[in-house]
Each structure stands twice: as structure tokens, then as C-alpha cells.
Amino acid sequence: MNTTKIPTAARCVILMLFCTAQAGVCPPSCICTPVGEMKGWVVDCNSRGLKEVPVLPVSTSKLYLQNNSLTTVNTGTFDSLSRLEEVNVSDNPWNCDCRILYLKFWLEDVSESSLASVICATPASNKMKPLSQLSGNELDSCRMPLPIKCLDFFWRDLALISFAVVVFILTSCAMKFSKRLVYQAIRRQYYFAVPLLQKQNLENHVSR
């Protein structure tokens, strides 16, 4: 047990150290220069042909990503950059589908002027449109087929309710009908029974 636990713990520590180091390391294709005293880093990844946003130092305060081949930003990519003051993501072939909303909302919080410079390249329906002017409805795969689903549910419910009503009507009709049958049967039995009783009474009288 112990022999397996120790290497696992050691691996965890190594992993943590590695991650901590990663968080403070300059991405290989970028140039990082410190700003003032402990104020963070200028991370310049401008014109590097990047297709993805690299792992950035958490103390990044100025981030230049303009003129790359970025198409999207994964959700959460910039969440750890609490010291960020300036960002430039212009001149990238942004793919404005639903996933781009993370970048849009993040830039709305951090820098409206940077958001203004984000122009969509794809899909064709959003080509050359500024991201700031697109809403969730205009972004592919954001639109949920909710109204159709609702309608589906409506028709299904309507069908179920109609079925229930028909079953109810049929059942009550059947019950009424069967009651009448029972009643008629009783009445018939009674009419048959009466002469029989009278006959028996007569026979009794006669035999006495």
C-alpha cells in the first residue's frame, strides 16, 4: 500500500510544481517583458502565426495577440488573468459561432475597444461583421430548436389529452350501457320470477 501511495503523492507534487511553473512561464513563441515593479508582464504574441491561444502567465497585464490565425478562444482561457489591463486580439480570422461568446463576454468586461476590433471571418453569414454587433441568435449552433420542441410537446400533450378524453367518454358510455343491461336483466328476471312465485303459491294453496 505504502509503496504505491508515495510515488502517487510525489507525482502530484511534481505535477503541481510543473503547473505553477507553467503559470509563470512565457509562452515559447511570445516575448515577455516585465512592467514596472511586480506589476506583471507584457506578453507579446503579435504576428506569430498562432492557431491557438498559448498558456499565458497569470500575471499577464498586457496581452498582444493581433495578426495571428486564431479562430476561437476556449471557454475559461482568460479567466485566470486577473491583472490584465490591455489586450489586442484584432486581425485574426475569428470563427463567429456559438463558442465565440466566451471571447465576446470577456472582452465586454475587459476592453470594449478591443471588442470593437474583432471582425468575424467565418462562417459566411457573419463574414466581415464586428463581433460586438452579433447576438447569440445570429451565432451558429447557439439557436436551440426550442420552439419546435415546445410545439412537439404541445402536439404530443394534445394527442394524449384527446386520447384520455375519448377513453373517458367511451368508459362512461360503456358503464351506462352495462348498467342499463344489468337493470334490464334484473327487470326481466323479476317479471319471470313473479309468475313463477305466484304459480308456486297457487300450487302451495292447492296442496294444502
Ligand X SMILES: *[C@@H]1O[C@H](CO)[C@@H](O)[C@H](O)[C@H]1NC(C)=O
Quick check: 147 binds ligand X (CB under 6 A)? no
C-alpha 96/C-alpha 122 separation (Å) is 6
Which CB atom, from 24 or from 93, has the smaller least distance to ligand X? Answer: 93
Quick check: 92 binds ligand X (CB under 6 A)? no
Which CB atom, from 121 or from 142, has the smaller least distance to ligand X? Answer: 121
Which CB atom, from 41 or from 48, has the smaller least distance to ligand X? Answer: 48
Strand blocks (E) in the chain? 31-34, 41-44, 60-64, 86-88, 94-95, 120-122
Considering only CA atoms, which of 89, 87, 95 is closest in space to residue 129? 95
C-alpha 55/C-alpha 89 separation (Å) is 15
Considering only CA atoms, which of 146, 145, 104, 141 is closest in space to residue 123? 141
Among the listed residues 90, 103, 126, 131, the single contact to ligand X using CB under 6 A: 90
Task: Count the site residues for ligand X by CB under 6 A.
Answer: 9
Quick check: 109 binds ligand X (CB under 6 A)? no
What is the DSSP code (8-state) at residue 140?
Answer: B
Quick check: 126 binds ligand X (CB under 6 A)? no
Quick check: 67 binds ligand X (CB under 6 A)? yes
Among the listed residues 7, 49, 145, 195, the single contact to ligand X using CB under 6 A: 49
Task: Compute the least distance from the CB of residue 78 to ligand X, in Å.
Answer: 15
